[in-house]
Structure 1
Amino acid sequence: MPNPPDKTTRPLGRVLLTGATGMVGSSVLRVLLNEKTVREVVSLGRRLSGIDHPKLTDVRFEAFGETQSIEPYLNGINTVFHCLATYSARVSRAEYEEITVDWMCALLAACERSAPGVTFCLFSAQGARSDGGGMSFALKIKGEAESKLFASDLERKFAFRPGYIAPSGPRSTWKMADHLFKPLQRLMPSIGVTSDELAHAMLYTAIHDRRCTAVLENGEMRTLFA
């Protein structure tokens, strides 16, 4: 966990979180609920998180591609953590692009209209490129999402590109890569981060990073824990 400086640069305030039931989103939610600068977390998800906490407003939400449906939840929001994602192997390319790009663009448009001063934190992936390049269609689409974020009118925006993400807690279904990379990540931590480390890096950046726009690669995130 990073060691923050004595003075907070920017309190997180009222937070909108998407994807709280995913591996990364659930770690982000846990960290947010323990963060003293968070007043409230509004969690929009296709499933409820199942967590009962005085700071949490848990909303089951299906209309991720509809800007006008998202806007009411942005009232008074200071920070957005967009962790909604899916595995490219589980859906078609068209579905992957819809979830990764189209849904995020609807959220960006809602933020531009209702909360243009938010800090927006995007969960991306190592190998994504904001110029649209990438070694796979999934990384090209992740890169497209990043380019849409950085082209937006939001004041402050960050993309996070972790390497392998080792689940910090129990996982209902393991990917084949987990059986190889999770033991390897213990021996060679530099190949990735745990989901809790990624969550802490995202929060630390949103609070303390003085930049308005940045892409954080896996190595830069790891320096926060050095």
Structure 2
Amino acid sequence: MNVLLFGATGMIGQGVLRECLLDDRVDSVLAVVRRPLGFSHPKLRELVHRDFTDFSSVAGEFADIDACFFCLGVSSAGLSAEEYRRITYDYTLAAARALPARPGLTFTYVSGEGTDSTERGRSAWARVKGRTENDLLAMPFHTYVFRPGYIHPLHGARSRTPLYRRLYAASSWLYPLLRRVAPKYVTTTEALGRAMLAVAERGGTGEHVLHSPEINGAAADRRP
């Protein structure tokens, strides 16, 4: 399997990249980044690209991919509505539109619990996420949408946002409790990576919108 990865420098992307590099069934990973990752691996190739609203100049690099894992995203906190929409919707759809029109290609998008698929709710971020999901699901490839709740970082995965790093560090002791009292809303960076690899081999079958329980179930099926 040849994987195209967006968001490899973020917490989720770090976890997904790790699982791809560890999995013997993955032949290569092309990570589209704005800055170098700072390490090398025989399976990994980096593509430094600045304009995430337009991938037309590098679309030829995507010709041989089998699966695209889109892990790039931001919180709406502190952003204008226009900026949040640009990063959440415009970046994602620009990447999707640059993919080759090949049967069997899979696109997996990390959305979030609480997304408004009707696009009519009161929450602006949820409407933007909903529109992004809906437009991806209408595209001519196999789209899977992940809607995790709390994501626990494993194996050194770290948020690039200092505030989030502090929050994760302060609340990490709560994770075992959350797994017991609210298992429907908890997953890990490891599980997200394994679940993406699992759905990429489904050939478009199964549920296309996965919440934490379905993500964790798919990850269990993909254990090395």
After TM superposition, the score normalised by the length of structure 2 is 0.84
Question: In structure 2, what is the equivalent of residue 92 of structure 1?
Answer: 80
SS of match in other structure, 2:27: strand
Task: Give the counterpart of 1:66 among 54, 63, 67.
Answer: 54
Question: In structure 1, what is the equivalent of residue 186 of structure 2?
Answer: 192
Deviation at 1:221, TM superposition (A): 1.7
Question: In structure 1, what is the equivalent of residue 150 of structure 2?
Answer: 164
Task: Report whether the alignment pairs 1:46 with 2:71.
Answer: no
Task: Give the counterpart of 1:28 among 7, 11, 16.
Answer: 16
1:209, 1:184 → 2: CA distance? 37
Count of matched residue pairs: 212
Cα contact 2:3–2:67 (8 A) shared by 1:
yes
Deviation at 1:147, TM superposition (A): 0.5
Cα contact 2:143–2:204 (8 A) shared by 1:
no
- Cα deviation digits, residues 143-172 of structure 1 (max 9, x gap): 111011011122x11000000112222536
Structure 1 stretches of 4+ moved >6 Å: none
Q: Let me know the Cα RMSD of the aligned residues.
A: 2.3
Task: Give the counterpart of 1:79 among 54, 67, 77.
Answer: 67
Deviation at 1:91, TM superposition (A): 2.6
Question: In structure 1, what is the equivalent of residue 123 of structure 2?
Answer: 136
Cα contact 1:134–1:143 (8 A) shared by 2:
no
1:219, 1:212 → 2: CA distance? 14
Question: In structure 2, what is the equivalent of residue 215 of structure 1?
Answer: 209
- Cα deviation digits, residues 162-205 of structure 1 (max 9, x gap): 00112222536242753675333321211311212222222222
Deviation at 1:88, TM superposition (A): 1.4
- Cα deviation digits, residues 8-54 of structure 1 (max 9, x gap): xxxxx211100000000011111101111211111001222222101
SS of match in other structure, 1:107: helix
Question: In structure 2, what is the equivalent of residue 183 of structure 1?
Answer: 173
Deviation at 1:135, TM superposition (A): 5.9
Task: Give the counterpart of 2:140 among 140, 150, 153.
Answer: 153
After TM superposition, the score normalised by the length of structure 1 is 0.84
Task: Give the counterpart of 1:124 among 91, 100, 111.
Answer: 111
Cα contact 1:63–1:69 (8 A) shared by 2:
no
Task: Give the counterpart of 1:110 among 98, 118, 124.
Answer: 98
Q: Which amino acid aligns with 2:187?
A: V
